[in-house]
Amino acid sequence: MKLLTALGLALLVLSTMCTTAQEKRDSGRQRDKQSEEKGRRKEPSRDDARQAREPVRRVSPPATSDPVVPPPTDVQIRQRQNLIDQKRSGRQVTGDYRGIFEGVQQGLSSGNIGVFAEHFASQVFVNLRDGESGYYSANQAYYVLENYFRSRRVMSFDFTTIGESESNPYATGSAGLSFKGTREIAQVYVSLSRAGDRWVITQINIY
C-alpha cells in the first residue's frame, strides 16, 4: 500500500514537471515570435529608404501668359464717358471721329480727296487760300478740292491738334505745299458735326 502511494506521488510530481517545462517552451516561442515581429516593423523597406534619400521637389506654380494691359489714357477715358453719356441721352453715334481725321490727313497728304469724300456732309463749307470759298454740296466740295490739289503738291502734312467735343470736334495742322515751283506753308482746319448716327465733315479751311 505504501509502495502504491509513493508511486502515485512520483507520477504526480513527474507530470507537474513536464507541464511546467512545456509551458516554459511555449512561453519562449511566443517571446521569440513577438521579437521577430517587432524587428520586421522596425526594419525600413527599400522604397522608404529610397524616398528618404531623395530630395524634396518643390513644384512652382504655372506662369501666367496673360499680357499686361496698360491703363487707359485720359483721351480714352473721355471718349468712353462721351459714349456713355450719349447712350444715356438716347443718342447713338457710330464710328470714331479720329478715324475721319486720319482719313483726311492721308487724303490731303497724297492729294487723293476720295479717301475721305464719303464723310462729307450734305453741305460743306470750303475756304481755300487763293481758291474757292463758300458752301458746296458733297459732290461739289469733292471737285473743288480735287481741282485745288491738282495744281498743288503736298510736301508734308500732319494734324497737330485735335479738339475734343461732343458736338463739333475739330483738327488743325500745318501743310507744306509746292505751287508753281514755290514752297508754301498753309494752315488746315477741319471740323465735324453729327448727322443722325454718324460723324460728317462740315468745314474745311486751307489758309
Domain count, the chain: 1
Kindly state whether residue 129 falls inside one of the protein's structural domains: yes
What pLDDT is stored for residue 70 in this prediction?
64
User: Quick one: residue 196, left, alpha or beta (phi over 0 = left, psi -120 to 50 = alpha)?
Assistant: left
Kindly state whether residue 32 falls inside one of the protein's structural domains: no
The residue range of the domain holding 157 is 94-206
Average pLDDT rounded to a whole number, residues 114-136: 96
The percent of residues in the chain predicted with pLDDT above 90, rounded, is 49
Q: Is the pLDDT of residue 197 over 60?
A: yes
Kindly state whether residue 6 falls inside one of the protein's structural domains: no
Q: What secondary structure letter does DSSP report for 1?
A: -
Tens digits of residue pLDDT in 83-100: 555 545 444 444 589 999
Q: How far is CA 172 from CA 36, 161, 168, 205, in A?
A: 99, 5, 13, 9
Kindly state whether residue 11 falls inside one of the protein's structural domains: no
Kindly state whether residue 70 falls inside one of the protein's structural domains: no
The percent of residues in the chain predicted with pLDDT above 70, rounded, is 54
Neighbours of 141 (CB within 10 A): 23
Kindly state whether residue 108 falls inside one of the protein's structural domains: yes
CATH of the domain at 190: 3.10.450.50
Kindly state whether residue 13 falls inside one of the protein's structural domains: no
CA distance 120 to 85: 25
What pLDDT is stored for residue 170 in this prediction?
97
Tens digits of residue pLDDT in 153-176: 999 999 999 998 888 999 999 999
Q: Is the pLDDT of residue 117 over 60?
A: yes
What pLDDT is stored for residue 166 in this prediction?
85
Kindly state whether residue 143 falls inside one of the protein's structural domains: yes
111 vs 25, residue with greater confidence:
111
The CA-based angle 152-108-118, given to 5 degrees, is 125
